[in-house]
Structures are given as C-alpha cells and as structure tokens.
Homo-oligomer: A and B are copies of this chain.
Amino acid sequence: MIKTAIVGFGNLGRGALKAVFSSGDMECAGIFTRRAPEKIEAPEGVKVYHISELKNFKGKLDVLLLCGGSATDLPATTAEYLKDFNTVDSFDTHAKIPEYFARLDKVAKENGTLAAISIGWDPGLFSLTRMLFGAVLPDGKDYTFWGKGVSQGHSDAIRRIKGVKNGKQYTIPKEEALAAVRSGACPELTARQKHLRECFVVAEEGADKAEIEREIVTMPNYFDEYDTIVHFIDEETFIRDHSGLAHGGFVLRTGKTSDEAKHILELSIKLDSNPEFTGSVLAAYARAVARLAKEGRTGALTVFDIPVKYLSPLSDEQLRKTLL
C-alpha cells in the first residue's frame, strides 16, 4: 500500500481523499490542516492533524497530496514540504510554472525527494494532450476551450466590486468558434470569439445595479475583451442554482500531413465536479510519484516527464494485454 497524506482540506482535498479511498492500493495516513483539527469534518477513521505535526511523519509517508491554492499557498509551502517528503500538487498559475518548477527541482534534488507539479486537467491532462497532438501533427494549430464552468478568479473579481454581495462567473465556449475549429478551417480567434462570460450577481440592498454591471463588463484583463452577460438574482436563487462545481473543456488540433490530407484531433471532458476529478488525477499521479521515488528519481516532474504506465495500478504486462 502507498502511504499518502492530504495537505489542505477544501474541495480539492475532499476530492483527493475520495480518490485515495477508492484506489485499492493507497491509504491515507491523515489530513493535515492549518485550521483547528477538531473543526474539520473528516470521514470516519481518517485522522486530522494540525499542519505543524507533519514533520513527525518524516520517513512514514510515500507522498503528500498538496491540496492548497496556487495564489499563495503552494508557492509558500511546497518547497518546505519537499525537504522531508515527496509531493504532488495542482499548481495552476501558467505564467509562473517555469519559476516554480526550477525552484522545486533544486530543493527536491538537494533533499533526495520527488515532486510532480501542475497536475490536474489544465495544467495536466490538457497540457499532455496539447504536447502529444503537436508532436504527432506538427503542421497544425491548437486551440483550448474551457467550460462551461466556473472561473474562480473571475468570480472573485466580481465579488470585490462595491455593492456586490455574491457573484459567480461561468466561462462558456462559443459553439460557432468550436464549429469553425472542427471544420478544419484553422481560424484565428480572438478572446471574444472563443468564450462568453456569464455572471450571476447578488447585489446588496440599495446598490446601483447599472453601475455594478458597467464595472464588470469594462474590467480590464478580466472582462473587457469578452462578451459578458450579467444577471442580477436574489440570494436564494444564487444558492440553489449556482453552488455547482461542474466544469469541462476542449483541446483541439487541426493540421495537415500534405495538401491533400487534413486531420482533426480533439479531446473533450465534461465534469460534474471539477475538484473531485482534479483530486482523482492528483491521486493517480501520487501513485506515479511513489513508484518513481522508489526507483530513485528525484527532482521536479510534470505530465511531460512521466510515462503514463506509472499512473496505473496494473502491471506492465496487464496494460499491454488489456489496453494496448
């Protein structure tokens, strides 16, 4: 059995724990949290510890599933954990990945540990697919569409506006853009042409709704380059209809191997629960980290570096026999 621990117990941590539980070859030695452990509602039989106790588990765990956020949590803590443990994380700030990778690679190599970074679906499965599609169809163009699903960053941006009590933003891929890509026409698409942004807002009593809407649709970087639809709804409706965590997306590549031969490659995923699926991907890569560490690998790795066979509990022979 692979000995894991979950660090951070929000939506992602709960998803990762479910995946470890149902795996058959992994067990969870505990949940580690910065909050008061007695306030965490954990499934029966799972111990909850304060994060300060983690160091006492050195040598007793194969891999930590880091389930903190990318904005401040992972950048501040992963390097520290890596001094004593192997880790897998879902660091998803695309622009900062090279720096994050370099820093963790150094720490991990110095300490003889192993880190799989930026694991999930994007970055993660989508990255792997973009790379694979590009390698097998080099003369082409790729497109990534996200949604329909909630963008946490855009929802946060709405909630920071004066007079907004609550808000949620859905990123929606535009059907006509998807159709144009699937036709093989290799279109150049602007941000506005690819995605629609739909916002559901609960305004505070007496707030100026017209002004809130104006602030949303003109917000630089977040909304100004998109078609944005704003709906004002009451809190009850918000809680009833907009508490879901569904998400999804598409990676497409169209290209040609000669003037006569065009090809279209497409990956699509549709998820009822983004954090549960991401947690499940984290668990599969935790298995890979545990196995690669046992083989003596150290440093930082991404989805590009890890042979997919390490994700599966099946033996190489079984994989070749049943799935090749």
Contacts and interface: CB of A to CB of B under 8 A. Distances in A.
Contact of A262 (B256, B263, B264, B272): B272
Contact of A277 (B15, B137, B321): B137
A307 B306 CA distance: 5
Contacts of A19: 257
A309 B257 contact: no
A260 B280 contact: no
Nearest to A246: B261
A273 B258 CA distance: 9
A218 to B, nearest CB: 31
B268 A266 contact: yes
A320 B303 CA distance: 10
Given A304-B320, A319-B131, A263 B284 contact: no
Interface residues of A, number: 64
Contacts of A284: 135-136, 138
A257 B279 contact: yes
Copies in the complex: 2
A312 interface: yes
Contact of A273 (B128, B260, B272, B287): B260
A46 to B, nearest CB: 16
Interface in A16-73: 18-19, 22-23
B263 A269 contact: yes
Given A262-B272, A272-B263, A323-B131, A304 B316 contact: yes
A22 B304 contact: no
A148 interface: no
Given A94-B324, A131-B308, A309-B304, A276 B261 contact: yes
Interface in A233-289: 256-258, 260-273, 276-277, 279-281, 284, 287
A317 interface: yes
Contact of A308 (B135, B258, B262, B267): B135
Interface string A103-144: 000000000000000100001010110111011111100000
Interface of A: 15, 18-19, 22-23, 94, 97-98, 101, 118, 123, 125, 127-128, 130-132, 134-139, 256-258, 260-273, 276-277, 279-281, 284, 287, 302-309, 311-312, 316-317, 319-321, 323-324
The 4 closest A-B pairs by CB, nearest first: A261-B273, A135-B311, A304-B309, A257-B276
